[in-house]
A and B are shown apart, each in its own frame.
Chain A
Amino acid sequence: MLNYLISGISLGSVYAIIALGYTMVYGIAKMLNFAHGDVIMVGGYAAFCAGTYLGWPVPLAILFSMMICTILGIVIEKLAYKPLRSATSLAVLITAIGVSYFLQNIALLIWTSNPKAFPNMVNFIPSIVLNKGTGSEITISSTTIVTIIASILIMVALTLFTGKTKIGKAMRAVSEDKGAAQLMGINVNATISVTFAIGSGLAAIAGVLLCSAYPTLMPTTGSMPGIKAFTAAVLGGIGSIPGAMLGGILLGILEKFAQAYISTQLSDAVVFAALIVVLLVKPTGLLGKKVMEKV
């Protein structure tokens, strides 16, 4: 029981960290960046190359990966999304899916489809063993602990950033009303670029944590966790930063419990059924803000 809870939280915190990136971009730019999962994959490969091929120390490899992803995020935004700023949201959505496939295929060309075993980069603290010596030992791996701590830290930092700093306030203003924000002297384009930069930098961290926990790196590594994390963001209330965190953890626990107590075959069905029920009862998600329809 406890065992499943821990693996659920471990999986859930990876979802949460990816969901934070989704929700941040959605909350501010009001677009679903479906390429987010693939930026995570690029982050994983960047860290892998820096760590394994170039032999850089871990902190440097992670920084390098964040840098690559930040630049990638800004470039994607400039080339693919900015020209569509006034287009329908459907056009932007399809573009995002296109970017997602583009990144996957580029990765396929560069790194081929052969999987790479990712070295664990975050096992710098000791793992915790519960019930020691009782025969039913339960290990909480250091990767799990680091992932949970990292996701909480990022959540708090993001909440503070959007709440207290000048750029953060500008972001919230843009999310409320782009036109009015521009009239108030806020550079909307720059603000959205910063949002993408932060979201993609987070994706690099998510990539390192995801691959450290589940060490197989392939060009499709980011796509399924990306979709699950998107589900988590919707469950928690898309646009809400604590909601992404809550949704991610809940989804992870739900998935593991469904596998353990219902059926390994039906786990995904159970998870998505739960999502539907939540959305029926609370259409904006668990922590989503209720938006009044103005007539």
Chain B
Amino acid sequence: MKKKLLSVVLAGVMALSLAACANTTTQTGSSDSSALATAPTDDGTLKGTLKIGMIGPLTGGAALYGNAVDHGTQIAVEEINAEGGDFQVDYKAQDDEHDAEKSVNAYNQLKDWGVQVIVGTVTTTPCIAVSAEANSDRIFMLTPSASASDVTAGKDQTYQLCFSDPNQGSASAQYISENGLGTKVAIIYKNDDAYSTGIYQTFKAKAAELGLEIVSETTFMDGSDNDFTVQITDAKDKGADLVFLPMYYTPASLILAQADSIGYDPVFFGVDGMDGILGIEGFDTSLAEDVILLTPFAADATDDLTVNFVSKYEEKFGETPIQFAADGYDCPKAIVAALEFYAANNGGLDVDKLSASDLCEILKSVLADPAFSVDGVTGEKMQWSSNGEVNKAPKGMIIKNGVYVGL
């Protein structure tokens, strides 16, 4: 009896795997037949319906980030479709609960749906898993917010819209130096965290280059992250007038409170992990007064793009967009801009006639083109290097009276 059951199951598995094989073969076949990635429309315009899939945590602990990206992307897609014409975007979001395995499942579902370009994934660990899959499938990915270098390393079809972790460090040093925010710098970083140490290392290298003096370097780690007396006292005793905090907002909030309690008031300078400090329930926002953070997006910036985006977002979702929403908004815009750029230079493009891998090659060639750049709400003149990292000017923000104000 048991044997019989086993053989039935095995047969089923075989049938399924054969079906899967068949599936892949047809896909490869179709992409081969249109291998030359040109589908001209003769008039230099973009045509067809592009299927964009988004993967991110829509539920669970990191849902805040996934939903923000999803909302931002929705607005961008609506705007693109509202322009009308022959080009439309079909958009679908899949939940991964910030879990690598679920993220790969979400990716497979999007593949079944016929996804051509992926916006995602939102968080780093799932992104590393999905980008490896998408790399072998030759599907182009533009992640709005997965910032680790591992996301793009060795995967030529994965690009980042956000700064990579190392870039944030050098951008911060540059910003401090250019704006004369401080001369003696103290750094407190988390030495068991890749995000924090990555930023620290590039910050230090850039600071040395720019002649910023680093007077104090102290660390903490998981388990010794509630008392910062020693670190703060060290910075104070060595006369630091700026304290650089490359870390997430939870330990940063404790550092601010403890510095306040010993009456130390330097300039505190954070990176994008600091975004969210005002959202801690019950946090005394006066502690964060005058904290500066470098982030690509300021909701109260007055340029047309930002004003348009923020007002639409507030109208549709009833809240002020955070940086992740802005990242999500810029992703489809950048992809469509790249396709339009290609269409204009190659006598048009009909996305219906192209497979995902053709689109992948097209997008890669455009992003590598130094003539191509795109303006978004998270930065002007965004350009990409061939390793997938974005290059754009970050914006400084300062916290005044409990709200972010652009510098």
A-side residues, CB < 8 A to B, are 3-4, 7, 10-11, 48, 52, 108, 112-119, 137, 139, 141, 213-216, 218, 224-225, 227-228, 255-256, 259-260, 264-265, 267-268
Contacts and interface: CB of A to CB of B under 8 A. Distances in A.
Top 4 closest A-B pairs, CB basis? A214-B226, A7-B229, A117-B282, A224-B223
Contacts of A108: 61
A166 to B, nearest CB: 40
Contacts of B284: 117
Given A7-B229, A139-B263, 8 more contacts: A3-B229, A4-B233, A115-B250, A117-B282, A137-B263, A214-B254, A215-B254, A216-B254
Nearest to A260: B230
Interface of B: 61, 64, 191, 218-227, 229-231, 233-234, 250-251, 253-254, 257, 261-263, 279-284
Nearest to B223: A224
Contacts of B234: 260
In this complex, the member of A108, A139, A214 whose beta carbon has the largest number of chain B beta carbons within 10 angstroms is A214
A48 B282 CA distance: 10
Contacts of A213: 226-227
Nearest to B226: A214
Contacts of A228: 223
A169 B253 CA distance: 46
Contacts, number: 82
B65 to A, nearest CB: 12
B262 A216 contact: no
B233 to A, nearest CB: 6
Most buried by A among B225, B227, B254, B261: B227
Contacts of B253: 115, 117, 216
Nearest to B261: A141
A114 B224 contact: no
A4 B191 contact: no
A10 B258 CA distance: 13
A233 to B, nearest CB: 17
B261 A114 contact: no
Nearest to A119: B282
A243 B230 CA distance: 26
Most buried by A among B222, B230, B280, B284: B230
A48 B257 CA distance: 18
Contacts of B230: 4, 7, 256, 259-260, 264
Nearest to B276: A114
A115 B277 CA distance: 10
A247 to B, nearest CB: 17
Contacts of A10: 227
Given A139-B261, A264-B220, A265-B191, A116 B281 contact: yes
A86 B340 CA distance: 74
Contacts of B261: 139, 141
Contacts of B282: 48, 52, 116-119
A224 B219 contact: no
A215 B281 contact: no
A117 B286 CA distance: 13
18 contacts: A10-B227, A112-B61, A117-B282, A137-B263, A139-B262, A141-B261, A214-B226, A214-B227, A215-B254, A216-B280, A224-B222, A227-B223, A255-B224, A256-B227, A256-B229, A264-B219, A264-B230, A268-B224
A116 B280 contact: yes
Given A116-B282, A117-B284, A216-B250, A268 B221 contact: yes
B42 to A, nearest CB: 54
